[in-house]
Structures are given as C-alpha cells and as structure tokens.
Amino acid sequence: MTTYDFTEIDGEIEQGEAEFIEMLQKLLRQKSISHTGEGMEECAEAVRLLLEQEGFRTTVYRPGAYPIVYGEIAASGQATDAPTVLLYGHYDVMPPDPLSEWTSDPFEPQIRDGKIYARGAGDNKGQFLAHILAVRSYLKLHGGLPINLKILIEGEEETGSPSLADFVANHRELLKADLVYTSDGPKHASGAPVILLGVRGALSVRVTSKGAAWDNHSGNKGNIVPNPVWPLVSLLHGMRSDDGKVQVEGFYDGIPQVSEADAEALRRLPFDLDDLKRQVGHDGIRMDGETYYRRLSLEPTFNVFGLHAGGRDKGIIPAVAEAYLDVRLVSGQDPLDIYTKLERHVKKHAPDIGIERIMSVPPSKTPIDLPIIRKVIRTVTEACALEPVVQPAMGGTLPDYVWTSVLGAPSVIVPYAPYDEANHSPNENTGIADFLEGIRCTYHLIRRLGESLDGEKE
Ligand SMILES: [Zn+2]
C-alpha cells in the first residue's frame, strides 16, 4: 500500500469551511418535502446544478413522482482499470411538524454550539453534500479523479423509495459499480463512525381465522357456534417450539453459517448489558455481546405483532380472529420463498385459515472480507479520529438489497451525521465537525480506492 500525505485535504477543508457551510445552508433553505411535494422540483434542479458546477455530467430521470438526479465523473487519464464507486443519497426530507417544537425555523438553518439546525441537515443533505465537496476538493488538488465516480440522489427515500428498485433494474449498465457507498443515518453514540454491511429483510403477513358470519352470544350460542380463536391459537402454537425454533418447514434453509470474519467483527462491537436492559425495559436478559449482535443481525426473527378477536367486555363468540406476524429475514432467505413456506404450513395444519402477505423487503449482506470492503474499513479508520464500529448487518430493514441483489454490487453504509441528529424529529441537526469529517472521509476513500487493491487480502 502506497503512503501519501494524509493531511493534504485538511488545508482544503480549513480554507473552504465557511463556503462549505454556506453551501449546506443554501441547500437546507430549499424545501423538498416528498410527502407533500413542496419544493421537490426546485430542489432536484438545485442538486443537478450543484453537481454540474462541481464537474459531474448529470442526467435527470423521472421514473416516479420525483426526479432522480444522476451524475458521473470518469477516472482521469491512464487509470483504465480504475474501480467504479456509486454514491447514493436523497434530497427529499421529512415534513417538519410539529413546528412548535423547533427552536428555529426548520428551513432557515441556524448554527448553535457547533451544530447546524435545519430539516435535512443530517438526513440527508449534509451527508451527500459532503461527498460532492470531497470530489470538489479532490479535483482542486489533483485535477482529476483516480476512480470512476457515479452519484445517484433520489427524491423518494422518505416515502419508501417506491421507484428505486425498478429504476436500478432498468439501468444496470448505467449504475454498474464495484462498490455502492451510502452515507445516511447516525454514527455510534460514542461518536465513532459506523460501517454497516447489511440489513435484515422483512416479511409481514396477516393470518385470518373465520367462524360464524357475525359475533354470537357466548351463552345463548355457546357450544353451538365454533370459535375461530382456538384454531388460530393452535396454528400459532405449532409454528414455533418452546425454545424459539421456527417449525415452518424449510424456514432456515439457505442461511449461511456465521463466518469467522463476521464472528470476529461481532465480538468487537461495543456492548453494555445493563444499558441494554434499561433501553428495552426488561431485566431478564442474559447474554454476551457476540450473542446479542448475532441474534440481532444474523438470525431471523418470527414475531407476532398483533392478535385480535372479540372485545373486553362482552361475552361473545367472535366471528373473526386475526394474527399479524412479521419475520425479519437474514441473508440467504428470500421473502417470497418464506411466504410460500408459511402458506404451505397453514394449508397443511389449518386449511380453513387464510393467510395474506402485507409487505416484504429482501435482506442484504456484503461480505466483510472482500478486498474492497477491507479497504473501506481501513480508510474510514484512517480518516476519522475513532476506531469504526463495523456491523456485519443491522437488525432493522432498509432497501439495501437494491444494490446487493438488483445491481449485484457490494454495498456499505457509512453514516456522517451525529448520533443525536434528530432525523425525522424537531431540531434536526448535524455537527459542523461531522460534516467536515464526512468530506475528509469521502476524500480519502476516493484516494485509497484509486490505489491498487493488492495487499488488502488478509
Ligand atoms: Zn430519513
């Protein structure tokens, strides 16, 4: 691995700081609320202009309600085998309400105690602008990029990215990349950077058991009319053993063994059992950090999140009983396949009970030991003052599969906003230091990925 002067970007940032902050404030003044449509077209155009001004060749696509702004810069000169990185971000923001809880106007950014307060400061304008400013600084210092850089900034993230998967499927050649790099979400509570290599998927279903055409009196019709609660409870009971193993045939098929590299990463994650107990409000939890993170990110869940029949104060035989289940899926599990298996289970054990799919999102996972991922981890470690928290996958669900499955590229999420960014809440903010550190981080990423990947195989 070649070495270079690691401080070369610091002078640029110091010199440019005031202008960078002014650029962020300008972007934050432009409303872009995808839930209502307010300012969306204007913001997309502002982002396109910004990209053009910083040297990107841009195209605007309209696959859904709001534009996707796309830009690219090819590697300069002799770098024919240069890797391609796709940066992803979103220019839409959440509605600002409740307005009365904001200390300052959500669309008139204010700086207080080293933080910029405005809707979108953290989620996601401050984060994708850091990428753009890193490119600007790189071009200023070196005249060209050592990698091919693509950037996709969409306007429907806060409404669930309804057009993204199809857009990516229809533009595989355009978006083709060796790495997809997303900066969204918050850093770790300790201030350390987070590197996220996957997410759990989700599948939710409704299971419906029907009895008579209407509720009947439990005395007058008791022992006469069947109660749909009993077959439902018995079905649910048979789906899971007492020690938590899911009894649906084939449920665990295809889930890979936890790799040594993942297990090692899990062991290094910060864990505080007492803090966890406080966070969840349950005293009985007994486990170590590795078990906690393994269960949270690399093992599927099988959860009942709703159960409804009858009421509280009437002696009736309910006409209908319903259960709502959600399954968090891990790498190797496909939501539609799991749904088919659930359907088969219901048909076999309770043929009179109906099942329907409410929603599903596939899981994603990028192997930690890919050379390009090793390089990202090393670069983030170099660029930030603290050792990053590397999570092989996270418990929640994001549409990261769009990159790993639809585009077929490794994907990594490295948040640039502070832990307390208050995204989606009143007084959303980002730290000026976090914003500038993001610029530094993307700058080093461009620099390091421009070097050969030899020597990253450990
Ligand atoms: Zn958001």
Domain count, the chain: 2
Are 53 and 184 in the same domain?
yes
Write down which residue in 343, 361, 379 finishes a domain.
361
What strand order describes the sheet that includes 68-73?
57-61, 68-73, 148-154, 84-90, 179-182, 411-413, 194-196, 389-391
Residues 329 and 427 occupy one common structural domain: no
How many angstroms does the Cα of residue 369 sit away from the middle of ligand 1?
A: 29
Ligand 1 centre distance from Cα of residue 94 (Å): 7
CA distance 209 to 46: 53
Rounded distance from Cα 409 to ligand 1 centre (Å): 23
One domain, residues 326 and 444: no
CATH of the domain at 122: 3.40.630.10
**90 Cα to the center of ligand 1, angstroms:** 9
Residues 109 and 112: their CA atoms lie apart, in Å, by 10
> What is the SS3 assignment for 337?
helix
pLDDT along the chain (458 residues), means of 10: 74 96 98 98 98 98 98 85 96 96 98 98 98 97 96 96 97 98 93 95 97 96 96 98 96 95 93 91 93 94 96 92 97 97 98 96 95 96 90 90 97 96 95 97 96 60
pLDDT at 454: 58
Distance, in Å, from the CA atom of 430 to the CA atom of 114, rounded to the nearest integer, reads: 9
The pLDDT value given to residue 455: 53
> Would residue 288 count as lying in a domain?
no
Ligand 1 geometric centre to CA of 160 (Å): 9
3-state secondary structure of 126: helix
Tokens, residue 284:
């009985």
Q: Which domain holds residue 31?
A: 8-199+363-449
In a domain, 88, yes or no: yes
Distance from Cα 345 to the centre of ligand 1, integer Å: 37
DSSP E strands in 345-401: the ranges are: 354-361, 364-365, 389-391
pLDDT value of residue 457: 46
CA of 199 to the centre of ligand 1 (A): 16
Note if the bond before 427 is cis, omega within 30 degrees.
no
Domain co-membership, 354 together with 372: no
Ramachandran class of 455: left when φ > 0, alpha when ψ lies in -120 to 50, beta otherwise: left
Antiparallel, parallel or unpaired: β 216-217 and 316-317: antiparallel
Considering the domain architecture, whether residues 346 and 432 belong to the same structural domain is answered as no
* Per-residue pLDDT, 79: 63
